Structure 1
Amino acid sequence: MKSLPQISDAEFEVMNIIWKYAPTNTNDIVERLSKDKDWSPKTIQTMLFRLEKKGVITHEKESRVFVYSPLIKKEAYIELEGNTFINRFFDGALSQMVLNYLNRNELTTEEINDLQAILDKKRKK
């Protein structure tokens, strides 16, 4: 997979809004983020500028507002970040990550059944 730029946790929250509602304008992004975050509009605009500079979003000017769209798919970014995490903390061994999680957390019967269904489906492929 090609290399994608690193984005911060805060930038990822902005990206989630853009991925979910694109194309979306600055005012809508600020309004949606203001519901959960105590960020000023200037802070959000700075993050939008950084994301555009990193090449993960683009904008068009419509009337007096910027309308943003993603240049990368959320799934591609999550796949890259997941692989980076596994490589960094578990030497690329997914099974070690899963075992680590299972040894530290209790799963419900439903979660175990869901995981088993995923594994069964993978085995059939």
Structure 2
Amino acid sequence: MLRISPAESQIMAALWEEGPLTADELVRKVGQPQDWGEATVKTLINRLMKKKALVSEKSEGRTRYRPLVSREAYVTSESQGLLDRLFSGQVAPLVAHFAEHRALSPEDVARLKRLIAELDDGD
């Protein structure tokens, strides 16, 4: 399972949203709002490359970075990791936890009911 830190995930989010970007573009899009300097952003890029989450490509004389991991694959991996660590891999206790500790809107309840109905129809 690929472990991406919260700071690294901000780099990934920019790349998932915008596509391949240069280091300078990542500094502007991610670094500046976080008050991170160029060195910090480049360190995060290098860490992600070592983890094989990013690849660099030369294009028009500039190095651009693009994700090797899709957002969907990352979210699935992180979600499963959370589920495994905190709820022994079971979905029902996770949903129960949020229902007990966070007010669910009527829209949330309706979406959960639709999801359960869709899952029941799939059997």
TM-score, normalization: structure 2? 0.91
Aligned equivalents of 1:63, 1:75: Cα separation in 2: 29
Query: SS of the counterpart of 2:36?
Result: coil
Q: How does 1:17-56 map to 2 (within 5 A)?
A: 17-56=14-53
Root-mean-square deviation (CA), in Å?
1.4
Q: How many residues align?
A: 122
> Which among 98, 109, 114 is matched to residue 95 of structure 2?
98
Query: SS of the counterpart of 2:34?
Result: coil
Cα deviation digits, residues 60-117 of structure 1 (max 9, x gap): 1335532011111111111111111111111111101111111111111121111111
The unaligned stretches of length 5 or more in structure 1 are none
The unaligned stretches of length 5 or more in structure 2 are none
Aligned equivalents of 1:35, 1:106: Cα separation in 2: 35
Aligned equivalents of 2:70, 2:63: Cα separation in 1: 20
TM-score, normalization: structure 1? 0.90
Displacement of 1:19 in angstroms is 1.1
Cα separation, partners in 2 of 1:23 and 1:101, compared to 1, 3 Å: same
| Aligned residue identity for 1:108 | S
> Which among 108, 121, 124 is matched to residue 121 of structure 2?
124
Large movers: runs of 4+ above 3 Å: 62-65
Percent identity of the aligned residues?
26
